[in-house]
Chain A
Amino acid sequence: MTTPVVETIGLAKRFGRKWGLRDCTLSIPSGKVAALVGPNGAGKSTLLRMAAGLSRPTSGVIRVLGDVPSGNDAPLLKRVGYLDQERPLYRGFRVEEMFRFGEGTNPTWNMTTAHTYIDQLGISLRDRVNSLSGGQQAQVALTMCLAKQPELLILDEPAAELDPVAREDLLRLLMREVAERGTSVVLSTHALGDVGSICDYLVILSHSKVVLHDDLEFVVESHRLLSASSSSTPALPDGVTVIDTRIGSRDVTHLVRLTLPLVEEAWGITEPTLDEIIMAYLRLGTDSASSQAHVSAPSPRGGIS
């Protein structure tokens, strides 16, 4: 069993009186591209910044690559690349100066990689960073993470504010890195489209809590839509947990999570799309009437907090 890349136990962070993150317990295995999904303010950046060693938990434990993240642990800093949501680059610096900074502060820096990626993106080394577009700045910042050749990439909304072409470029760049070096990736996004094609591990945050964390493959396979007419609604089968319920004028649909193989006659069974699953979990934690979690089996193992 390899060390998880990110492991948290009861992690929480408070800012003044407001909780940025609460009861966060998860274990992201190595070798995956993990997506941290949730609306703005859900706690994604808070979690990622703690993973990068930039802030300390209020309570609970976090471990990255087996070590407690800290700004004073140079060996760990070497193995992790972090891309902040604001992509803070140094104003007035040229791209080549950012790279010189990277080279001087990272013993594993690969300047060839940095130059190659910049070339492919059509950015000149002599460009000043504040003359670049938002998307190009994000790419320069990502290149700095990649040139460091880390084992783990922690990326906060890497594709935000990018036009569709730039977004594809960036994600493809990332996937090439994963293909060639087996880098693990933990990225946060509030755009669901990224998740399906490039991620194989899913963490859903809603209202500062983790509501789901599991292999994407298992998530897709273990959820079903059960529908029946509202006039004669049968009993729910064993081994399902209702995540979300939609009550239409003529039928009722439950999005359920399976804990046992489903053999069912009375309900109509369809497979939900990944988006539908994610939306259902995002609604958990709100007070809307549509979210009722009925447990009709012993508590499911892992996966739901």
Chain B
Amino acid sequence: MSEDQPSILFRLDPRSGVAPYRQLVDQVRQAVETGRLRGGDQLPSVREVVTQVTINPNTVHRAYRELEHLALAEGRLGLGTFITENPEVHATEAGNTELSRQLQLWAQRARTAGLDEDDMLELLRRILSRDERVLS
């Protein structure tokens, strides 16, 4: 792979309704699935992506972090982000996304508001018990 050519050319569709970071993640996943990207290939740097596509650099960071969570890529300090050897591409995120994503965000907000884990669990317990009373 030549130094000058980026390993993947990202495209962004601002009207698709899909969040930009997810579009990047999906494009990398697809490239790995089809074999265009292989284990050990370097993903373009944040700066390079920003010249390819009109996108917020933070979004690129986020996409790369997500790829790391999905074990598709790994960051090597000082060198960049690389596709992991033997990347496993999971099937599209299961239906639990809706709930778990919302919960994740709610937990983030609660933490910022100063609730600790016990507070959050207590709140959840109270809500659940209220629901049960309504239903029963």
Q: Do chains A and B touch in the complex (CB under 8 A)?
A: yes
Binding-face segment, A8-16, A48-56, A65-73, A260-268? A260-268
- Check: A152 CB closer than 8 A to any chain B CB: no
Nearest chain B CB to A187 CB, angstrom units: 12
A32 to B50, Cβ gap below 8 A? no
Q: Please report whether the interface of chain A is mostly helix, strand, loop or mixed according to DSSP.
A: helix
Nearest chain B CB to A245 CB, angstrom units: 21
A178 to B56, Cβ gap below 8 A? yes
Q: Please report whether the interface of chain B is mostly helix, strand, loop or mixed according to DSSP.
A: helix
B47 to A198, Cβ gap below 8 A? no
- Check: A199 CB closer than 8 A to any chain B CB: yes
What residues on A are CB-neighbors of B57 within 8 Å? 175, 178-179
Tally the A-B contacts, defined by beta carbons under 8 Å: 70
What residues on A are CB-neighbors of B15 within 8 Å? 193, 273, 275
Binding-face segment, A91-99, A141-149, A218-226? A218-226
- Check: A271 CB closer than 8 A to any chain B CB: yes
A-B CB contact pairs (8 Å), 26 listed: A32-B58, A171-B54, A175-B50, A175-B54, A175-B55, A175-B56, A176-B47, A178-B57, A179-B47, A197-B12, A197-B54, A197-B56, A198-B55, A198-B56, A217-B19, A218-B105, A221-B102, A221-B105, A222-B102, A260-B106, A260-B127, A261-B99, A261-B102, A273-B15, A274-B17, A275-B15
Interface residues of A (CB under 8 A from B): 31-33, 168, 171-172, 175-176, 178-180, 193, 196-200, 217-218, 220-222, 258, 260-263, 269, 271, 273-275, 301
